[in-house]
Structures are given as structure tokens and as C-alpha cells.
Amino acid sequence: MIFSETKAAVDLVKDLAALLRQTGNYDPVLIQKFDDLRGQVLTAYQTEIELYKEVDSLNEKVRQLEARLELQQMSYDKASGLYFVENGGKRDYYCQRCADADKKQVRVTEQSHGWTCRACNQFYQTEQQNRNSRMIETVDPDIRNRSTMW
């Protein structure tokens, strides 16, 4: 339900016509003019409702297009398999899977040995990070649990 000045005008014209009728001594042409006016204002009100719906629909389209544009503005980092956006000299990384499959821009959480997407749990790491992880695992599997190493 949309409350507006136009809706208030519809009610006002209706009230005025009713008051005029109560006087008992009214010009039928004047009543007809009031009814015509009421019809006109009612049409304007219905048009207003349609316009509100149109604005809502367009706002939703703009939101979707902005989201798509943000996805298209991302670059691909071949080494990690992540998308990124340059942000003041540093990179913000985003999940490739979420962007490609779900058309969503989801930041990944940086970890010592790679990145994880909290939306889809996809794990990403560069070849170098993968080698480092395996090397440490080979040397001492427990060393990865030591926070000082990471």
C-alpha cells in the first residue's frame, strides 16, 4: 500500500462531494464535476502505483547489473586461480568458483599456505605454496601446527 499526496487528494475530493450532497441544495453539474475530478485523481493515483512498481523493478535491475559489472572488472591471477581487484596498490582476492558458478563476488580468507572461500569452502594456493606445504609435511608433519612457523 502506497500512501501519498495523490491518495490524500482522492479522499479529499470524495469527502467534498459527500459534504456538498449533505447540503441538499446542490448543483448536480457541480457534483458531476467533483465525481469527474475524483476519477481523474484516482487514475493519477493508480499511475503513481504503477510508477512505484516500475522504479522498484528498475532498482533491482540496476543492482543486478552493478553486481555483474563488478564481476567483469575482476582480473584473473593464474598462479593462485583467484580473481582479484587492485585496491590502492594491493590486491583484494575473490573466489573463482563463486564468481563463475554463482555470479557472486566472494572474498577469500588469506591463510599462511593459501586462501579459503568461506562461502563454498574452495581452497586455493599457488604452486609455490603447495610445494612449501608438502616440504614441511615431509620434514615434520607437526611443524605446521607451530604458530611461529606461520
- What is the contact surface with Zn ion in residues (CB under 5 A)? 95, 97-98, 106, 117, 119-120, 122
Between residues 118 and 146, which has the closer beta carbon with respect to Zn ion? 118
Nearest distance from C-beta of residue 93 to Zn ion, angstroms: 11
The amino acid at residue 77 is D
Between residues 15 and 102, which has the closer beta carbon with respect to Zn ion? 102
Question: What b-and-e string marks burial along 115-124, b requiring 16 or more CB atoms within 10 Å of the CB?
Answer: bbbeeeebeb
Nearest distance from C-beta of residue 96 to Zn ion, angstroms: 8
| 125-130 own/partner pairs: CB under 8 Å, 24+ apart | 125/80, 126/79, 126/80, 127/79, 128/79
Cα distances from 133 to residues 67, 69, 80, 94, in angstroms, run 35, 36, 14, 22
Which cell goes with 118? 568461506
Between residues 74 and 95, which has the closer beta carbon with respect to Zn ion? 95
Helix (H, G, I), strand (E, B) or coil at 4: coil
Nearest distance from C-beta of residue 81 to Zn ion, angstroms: 11
Between residues 68 and 118, which has the closer beta carbon with respect to Zn ion? 118
Helix (H, G, I), strand (E, B) or coil at 13: helix
Nearest distance from C-beta of residue 82 to Zn ion, angstroms: 10
